[in-house]
């Protein structure tokens, strides 16, 4: 039975190749890999992502600035395949809600070469994932209109990752473009109150203290805390934050009227709810509601990876290379949750199956 299902899976994706631009450590690509697609390459400016991407996705990592990539380069990367899927997530910091009113800065242009490559190469299917705020900008509307003018049918939606089994309150803009027809995203697989929770994701891990590393899992490590911050986290109940502290423990910014905007700072997660959106600083207690629900520390790298739905077997660091808490948390915060990547891939796979049935 399993072999039959595997054959059907390979038949649907047979001949289709995927290239992931701005691939990072491979969260989006791994979703396609899990759904049976052949991921041929990932492209990223950060060469330190090479080991994780290649090790887990059986694909080549190309250290390259996307802005310098030509359509001939990309055609060579795809190889002889005539059934191509181009996916990517341009760095989203410029499109955060804090920069919506600003004009295009030097990072915003990364979406333009992506658009240019699509127009020149004309891959059959394109998908882009980013923050919802991107849709408010002219550059996004240019992207959509340009692809429509070049024969692509566009669909877009804001996805609540909780509705697809990601134990995290993470909303993302997902765009599909296809020359074969319209792609609809898969229907939600989880509904409240059946959302995956923090406990579902990390509840079975060994307890560790701040500054400790699990003996059984080198990625299960937590940053150390100063005595004052340790006192602060001990004064924070599950699901609570700095407002639960004795006033003497509060930071000076919390005592100002504007401090109310930072209610999640030094907060703890709740066991029976999804985690908040993980950021590049998700393993620091002072950067958001990233405190462990009951242990007196911020979440570990392993816990962040699990909340981003990376498999336990996913390797982020080459054996023998020191693990950098700061670097890996950055990669995890920037990553597309693997489960969401899989939903995107599954939506495309259904689209391919429907197209093949009509052909």
Tell me the two tokens of residue 242.
């700095």
Q: What burial class does residue 344 get, using C-beta atoms within 10 Å of its C-beta: 0-12 exposed, 13-18 middle, 19+ buried?
A: buried
Cβ atoms of 285 and 298 within 8 Å: the answer is yes
Decide: helix, strand or coil at residue 4: helix
Secondary structure of residue 260 in the 3-state scheme: helix
Compute and round to an integer the Cα radius of gyration of the chain.
Answer: 21
* Residue 121, CA distances (Å) to 51, 114, 192, 215 in order: 28, 11, 42, 49
Contact predicate 59/39, CB 8 Å: yes
Task: Give one DSSP letter per residue of 74-104, joined into a string.
Answer: HHHHHTT-SEEEEEE----GGGSTTSTTSPP
Can you read off the two tokens belonging to residue 325? Answer: 């808490």
HEC assignment per residue over 191-238: CCCCCCCHHHHHCCCCCCCCCCECCCCCCCECCCCCHHHHHHHHCCCC
Distance CA 295, CA 286 (A): 15
DSSP E strands: which ranges in 81-185? 83-88, 125-130, 153-160, 171-178
Reading the block at residue 27, the tokens are 């969260």
Tell me which residue of 182, 175, 132 sits closest to 153, measured CA to CA.
Answer: 182
* Class of residue 107 by CB neighbours under 10 A (exposed 0-12, middle 13-18, buried 19+): middle
| CA distances for 131 relative to 90, 138, 279, 306, 313, angstroms | 10, 15, 12, 21, 28
Residues marked as catalytic: 92
Q: How far is CA 312 from the centre of its chain?
A: 16
């Amino acid at each position: 039975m399993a072999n039959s299902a595997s054959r059907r899976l390979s038949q649907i994706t047979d001949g289709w190749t995927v290239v992931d631009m701005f691939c990072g450590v491979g969260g989006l690509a791994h979703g396609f890999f899990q759904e049976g697609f052949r991921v041929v390459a990932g492209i990223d400016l950060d060469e330190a992502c090479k080991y994780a991407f290649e090790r887990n996705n059986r694909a080549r990592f190309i250290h390259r600035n996307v802005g310098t990539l030509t359509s001939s380069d990309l055609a060579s990367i795809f190889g002889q395949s005539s059934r191509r899927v181009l996916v990517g997530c341009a760095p989203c910091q410029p499109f955060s809600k804090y920069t919506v009113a600003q004009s295009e800065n030097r990072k915003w242009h990364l979406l333009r070469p992506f658009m240019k490559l699509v127009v020149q190469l004309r891959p059959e299917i394109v998908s882009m994932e980013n923050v919802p705020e991107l849709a408010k900008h002219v550059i996004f509307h240019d992207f959509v209109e340009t692809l429509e003018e070049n024969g692509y049918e566009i669909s877009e939606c804001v996805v609540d990752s909780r509705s697809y089994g990601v134990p995290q309150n993470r909303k993302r803009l997902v765009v599909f473009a296809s020359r074969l027809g319209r792609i609809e995203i898969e229907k939600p697989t989880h509904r409240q109150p059946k959302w995956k929770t923090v406990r579902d994701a990390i509840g079975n891990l060994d307890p560790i203290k701040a500054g400790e590393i699990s003996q059984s899992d080198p990625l299960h490590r937590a940053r150390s805390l100063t005595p004052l911050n340790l006192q602060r986290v001990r004064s924070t109940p599950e699901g609570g934050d700095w407002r639960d502290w004795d006033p003497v423990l509060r930071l000076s910014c919390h005592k100002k009227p504007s401090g109310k905007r930072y209610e999640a700072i030094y907060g703890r997660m709740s066991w029976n709810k999804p985690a908040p959106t993980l950021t590049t600083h998700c393993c620091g207690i002072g950067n958001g509601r990233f405190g462990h629900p009951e242990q007196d520390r911020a979440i570990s790298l392993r816990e962040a990876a699990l909340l981003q739905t990376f498999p336990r077997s996913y390797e982020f660091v080459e054996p023998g290379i020191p693990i950098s808490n700061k670097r890996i948390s950055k990669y995890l915060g920037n990553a597309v949750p693997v489960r969401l990547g899989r939903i995107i891939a599954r939506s495309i796979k259904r689209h391919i199956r429907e197209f093949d049935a009509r052909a």
